[in-house]
A and B are shown apart, each in its own frame.
Chain A
Amino acid sequence: MSDDAIHIQGLGKRFGDKVAVEDLDLVVPRGSLHGLIGPNGAGKTTTIRMVMSILFPDAGRLSVLGKKSAVESKDRIGYLPEERGVYRKMKVGAFLSHMAGLKGVTSGVSQKIDDWLDRVELGDVKKKRCDELSKGMQQKIQFISSVIHEPELLILDEPFSGLDPVNMRLLRDLILDQHQKGVTVIFSTHVMIQAEQLCDHIVMIESGQKVLDNTLQEIRDRYDPRSVVFEPDAGIGPSAAEQHEGVESVRQVSPGVFEAALHDDADRHTIMANILEQTRARRVELRRPSLEDVFIEIVQERTGGDVDSDELRAQLQDRAAGPQEATP
């Protein structure tokens, strides 16, 4: 049995004709902070549910915290599902106490609840009913319920969805705090920038298959900057870059700002110098590819360029995407 926090081999799951996860291998070492990224419907939640033994795989093997299934180590795992809620009519303190009890916490529960409520700036809600809290407050309560038993492994499925920027930052700090304490953290998101800001290891899933599994640094090293962003003076359009050798295409990214995509063998520095020479540009910079760019590139490679990159980008940026329908 592996000593890794999670060890998955050849994992597969189908729902009727639909393949949700296919032949997935994944190793999450203890103490790491892994981001599981991919668009909605890629298979992230299904993978997580199989790790949690909420769903059972059709194929493959997995071990969680050295056990054959999460059932044997549920009390050592914290899980914040994507589909989350609270008992609306229960008081906050009673709800957290119930959850702590289910997770096997027997002593000092009340003190732990007080401490956690203070940390998330909700010190005065213990005696309030859950349905009296705002959605953001409820999400903090749900987060507490996933960490109150001091888990060794914390699995967070889309933890930031529905949070305002202030609470997003608070939650990010809490997650980093857990990571620094040595807790293994895995979180899934379809908003790739969140993973980029937080993780040291990225696993990318698309159509049920793993398409990338590297540290953030490795990804950055592998995907060189291959575009130049420039902001020419008013009146000068994309023509400032179009005619240069090595430039594949130019697109407008925002009013007055353009991005020139370069061929693989293009000389980036010469092209930048040429743009500067021809226009009185306010800004010319090499752009590092975002995880989103990397994802789109991988998908296009896999499909032979059949997928419209703008459509894919729109799909990834669709933050308001609702819960998946009729798919466990």
Chain B
Amino acid sequence: MNPGKIGRVAWREFASTVLTKGFIIGALLTPVLILVMIAIVTALTAFKSEPTISGEVAIVDPTGVIAERLTETLSPEALAEAARARAERIAETLKDVSPGASSFAGSIGPDAESFPTLRVATLPADTDQDAEKQRVREEANVEDGRLALLIVDEAALMPQPEGEARQDIQLFVRPKLKDDVIDTIRNAAVRVIRDERFRVAGYDRSVVGRLQDVNTGSARELTEDGGERASIGDFRNFIAYGFMMLMLIPTFVGAQYLLTNAIEEKSSRVVEILLSAVSPMELMTGKVLGQMCVGLVIMVIYGGMSMYALISFSLGDAITPLALVSMFVFFALAYFTFASFMAAVGSSVNELREAQSLIGPVMVPLMLPYGLGIFIADDPNSTFATIASFVPPISPFMMMLRVASTEPPPPWQVGLAVVISAVTCYVAVWCAAKVFRVGLLMYGKPPNFRTLIKWVRMA
């Protein structure tokens, strides 16, 4: 085999796939577009929140205490303080798991939000409610006009009666008032009513709060090396599934391109001209390697983006070097197995339609990991997972999932999976090379499986 010729065939295969509009739009521009979209949406959100909503919240309060407390709670200072406390709580929860995510959560605290400027107007208890509602309607488009009318039930400070529930407040708002403003008003009212109920019942609100607060911290994993770390639980399964998808998608895409390109070379009758310059084995090797590079490009783009995201959330340590190395090894083994089969099928038919009946046996094992992966990621050391990770040709995908999971399998199992996959790969490439060599020059009736087996024996 001549490496120079294989390189040329591989380069043509790579260039004719990657340097096409379809690929650039599909594989390269899509992630870029997603990032651009996220940036635009973020920018738009920031832009949109620019004009602060301001106006009056009228309150009918027969209890006489809620309106006053609400005036304090809805003041801009109090709203900002509440937001800050909320952000701190989230950051505290995330701190154990991911310092990056925690600081991110901290940063989206009060500064990132804009608060409505709300003016509370207390109305007499016997006011004409219909007239006040009418004012909300009339001032719907008036700047700094009335935004909402809050009517508090006279029994609002009493505990809810057993049986039928009592409506403690009624909130009427102008059309199209933003949800977050409505939520701000309603949540403030609920908080105030709750605090007042505790007071009336004779409890100290702060004591009740502390009684309710049970601090658990996050679960810590005790690792085999004697250390411990924050558990990221199901998230790690998600990462393991991600690793498998990073192998599966390029395998799928590469195999698909090989099929269509081999069919194109055959149907355009260019193949025998190529065979005058390269041997069938050189041609197949070059094509398979070329598409492998396409797969690697896809893998690097999507894998790189995912890694960047994980690292920026300080979840980088979820990616172990073993998992990374395994990904490349298992990708190579899985890819060569499936790609050589697809190249063989592509060489034996005259058009894509004829290939459909032959590629079924390849497509099924390529679809299986999608479904099985969920169960295996969930319990990576179950008997089912262990067996599935030794079954060719899905062994590389299944073992990858286990390697990247919370409980990596023992090294001998990984080694065994590599051996099984390597043997499968060798057999697949050997058979495919024979079918490829015969199939390339066959025109006419499309072959069935029996014919392909005959070719393997014949060549």
Instruction: Tell me the A residues contacting B by CB distance below 8 Å.
Output: 49, 52-55, 71, 74-75, 77-90, 98-99, 101-104, 142, 145-146, 323-326, 328
- Beta-carbon contact of A79 and B279 below 8 Å: no
- Beta-carbon contact of A98 and B12 below 8 Å: yes
Q: Given B4, B269, B442, which contacts A84 in the complex, CB threshold below 8 Å?
A: B269
B8 contacts A by Cβ under 8 Å: yes
Q: How far is the CA of A104 from the CA of B4 in the complex (A)?
A: 9
A residues near B264, Cβ cutoff 8 Å: 87-88
A residues near B8, Cβ cutoff 8 Å: 98, 101-102
B272-289 residues with Cβ-Cβ distance < 8 A to A are 272-280
Query: Among the interface residues A53, A74, A84, A102, which one has the most CB atoms of the partner chain B within 10 A?
Result: A102
Nearest Cβ on chain B to A249's Cβ, whole angstroms: 41
Q: Given A52, A86, A101, A328, which contacts B276 in the complex, CB threshold below 8 Å?
A: A52
Chain B: interface size category: 20 to 34
Question: Given A86-B270, A88-B268, A145-B273, does the pair A326, B442 have CB atoms closer than 8 Å?
Answer: yes
Query: Among the interface residues B8, B275, B277, B279, which one has the most CB atoms of the partner chain A within 10 A?
Result: B277
- Beta-carbon contact of B441 and A83 below 8 Å: yes
Instruction: Tell me the B residues contacting A by CB distance below 8 Å.
Output: 4-5, 8-9, 12, 16, 264-265, 268-280, 438, 441-445
- Beta-carbon contact of A103 and B277 below 8 Å: yes
Tally of A-B residue pairs with Cβ under 8 A?
80
- Beta-carbon contact of B441 and A328 below 8 Å: yes
- Beta-carbon contact of B12 and A85 below 8 Å: no
- Beta-carbon contact of B272 and A102 below 8 Å: no
- Beta-carbon contact of B279 and A53 below 8 Å: yes
B residues near A82, Cβ cutoff 8 Å: 272
Q: How far is the CA of A81 from the CA of B274 in the complex (A)?
A: 10
- Beta-carbon contact of A81 and B268 below 8 Å: no
B residues near A99, Cβ cutoff 8 Å: 273, 277
B residues near A79, Cβ cutoff 8 Å: 273, 276
Question: Given A85-B268, A102-B9, A325-B443, does the pair A90, B276 have CB atoms closer than 8 Å?
Answer: no
- Beta-carbon contact of A71 and B442 below 8 Å: no
Q: How far is the CA of A322 from the CA of B108 in the complex (A)?
A: 73
B residues near A101, Cβ cutoff 8 Å: 8
- Beta-carbon contact of A81 and B273 below 8 Å: yes
Closest to A151 in B: B276
Closest to B438 in A: A328
- Beta-carbon contact of A85 and B441 below 8 Å: no
Q: Please give 17 more A-B residue pairs, beta carbons under 8 A apart, in addition to A79-B273, A98-B8.
A: A71-B279, A77-B276, A79-B276, A83-B269, A83-B441, A85-B268, A85-B269, A85-B273, A87-B270, A90-B16, A98-B12, A145-B273, A323-B443, A324-B443, A325-B445, A326-B443, A326-B444
Nearest Cβ on chain A to B104's Cβ, whole angstroms: 47
B residues near A88, Cβ cutoff 8 Å: 264, 268
